[in-house]
Homo-oligomer: A and B are copies of this chain.
């Protein structure tokens, strides 16, 4: 996975990128929950820029699937329905094992950092901290792969489902929690042994089980569009 560009000064020609990056951080951090309206003028003021680079930023975030833009109407932070989230997890089940197998040969000493992350995850109780560690753990396990689009696609899937992973983590029962950590440790072991095939299998199961548990909590998602049905207030 290619590292992102250094966070240094964005000079001229990068205002849109800057706005997009900060907005993305706000969305992923949970400050802007799904469904919140995003007004161009408001952002322009917040970032001391005109509305032109804001529109650029919104287009970029739309491409990332983080924002939904409706022509002539406005932009909202994207929200997922359960079926869409499941679909993304199905994609992850197929793509991430591939990415991991491409990464393993070049991971080298980073395995030890993976092991540390897996342990830290067991000891934290803060949801936000856990999410950060989990994300770092998995993305680090892909850091050995030199990829152009596969890595971006996987990151995109992580980003668009981030908010629901947060909700899901909150209602994780102790047993599932135990299993989750065990899977992480098994993953570390397989990676340490450079057994790509086994690592693929463990990871697929890890994502798959998460998807199945996710389906047990439809209340975190926006309702399915029920045509011709008025929601009695």
Contact = CB atoms under 8 A, between A and B. Distances in A.
Interface of A: 12-14, 17, 52, 55-56, 59-60, 62-63, 65, 71-72, 84, 87-88, 90-91, 94-95, 98, 147-150, 153, 157, 160
Contact of A84 (B65, B91, B149, B160): B149
Tell me whether chain A's interface is mostly helix, strand or loop, or mixed: helix
Please state the number of chain copies in the assembly. Answer: 2
11 contacts: A12-B72, A60-B63, A63-B63, A87-B148, A87-B149, A90-B98, A90-B150, A94-B94, A94-B98, A149-B160, A153-B153
A96 B90 CA distance: 12
Contacts of A147: 87
Contacts of A157: 149
Nearest to A95: B94
Given A13-B71, A60-B63, A98-B94, A150 B55 contact: no
Contact of A65 (B71, B91, B98, B149): B149
A149 to B, nearest CB: 6
Contact of A150 (B87, B98, B149): B87
Contacts of A94: 94-95, 98
Contacts of A90: 98, 150
Contacts of A160: 149
Nearest to A101: B90
Contacts of A17: 71
B59 A63 contact: yes
Q: Which 3 pairs, one residue from A and one from B, show the smallest C-beta to C-beta distance?
A: A63-B63, A13-B71, A94-B94
A48 B147 CA distance: 39
A94 B14 CA distance: 35
A14, A59, A60, A84 pick with most chain B CB within 10 angstroms:
A59
B91 A149 contact: yes
A17 B60 CA distance: 14
Contacts of A12: 72
B150 A71 contact: no
A63 B153 CA distance: 12
A127 to B, nearest CB: 26
